Amino acid sequence: MPKPTSRRHFAAWGFGALLISGVAFGAFHALPAMAEDAVLAPPPAYNPPDLATSETAILSGGCFWGLQGVYEHVKGVTKVYAGYAGGDAATAQYETVSTGTTGHAESVAITFNPQVISYGQILQIYFSVATNPTELNYQGPDSGTQYRGEIWYKTPAQQHVALAYIAQLSAAHVYSQPIVTRVDAFKGFYNAEDYHQDYLVRNPDQPYIAINDIPKVEALQRLFPALYRADPVTVFGAG
């Protein structure tokens, strides 16, 4: 388990401490969930066909444990790596990124088959269950620029789909607050340390995961049943 050096890990450890103290005093009370409410975004109006059989989407939006865990349960996705995007290779380490001064954001690299799931659908899931696009430089209990929402386009086609979709969602007033998700050119992606990979799949009962991220996977299954896969595709091991 990672050291509790960030706001995220302190939140998780704090929950564990409260849970233990409640049991010790025989007075356990359910604690309020911190998971974001899912909002079913409409499908992208601009979503041109892609003849490729493999493509990669780079997304940032809060803790990469949850982002990776959601997309590992999406049909058509062949691999999802947790990592860092937006900064330099020299600062792409968890402890350094956690300072919020590197330009990096916790991110995922999603490799998928466009013949099964389109880039537009990847973004629809992102805006519906994976992140709250109205939160600037934080997501749920996690704060700092390393938790910002950002779409890193690798091709002009990805750029056009992302910008058109944000304009569509904004015009439809899907959210009660303005969308603050950024769209920027891809600069590079650096895989996170091995202990971060498949974290949700390996630790579903860890307090932070149970409170903040399992509800996202459940929302994926509820809102996108045709795209949900029960057996996750993982970085390590069978999947």
Q: Which residues pair with 80 in a beta bridge?
A: 110
63 is catalytic: yes
Report residue 86 as tokens. 């937006």
The amino acid occupying position 138 is Y
Phi, psi (degrees; rounded to nearest 5) at 214 = -60, -40
CA–CA separation, 234 and 79 (whole Å)? 7
CA–CA separation, 91 and 40 (whole Å)? 36
Active-site hit among 12, 35, 57, 63: 63
3-state secondary structure string across the chain:
CCCCCCHHHHHHHHHHHHHHHHHHCCCCCCCCCCCCCCCCCCCCCCCCCCCCCCEEEEEEECCHHHHHHHHCCECCEEEEEEEEECCCHHHCCHHHHCCCCCCCEEEEEEEECCCCCCHHHHHHHHHHHHCCCCCCCEECCEECHHHCEEEEECCHHHHHHHHHHHHHHHHCCCCCCCCCCEEEECCCEEECCHHHCCHHHHCCCCHHHHHHHHHHHHHHHHHCCCCECCCCCCCCCCC
Residues serving a catalytic function are: 63
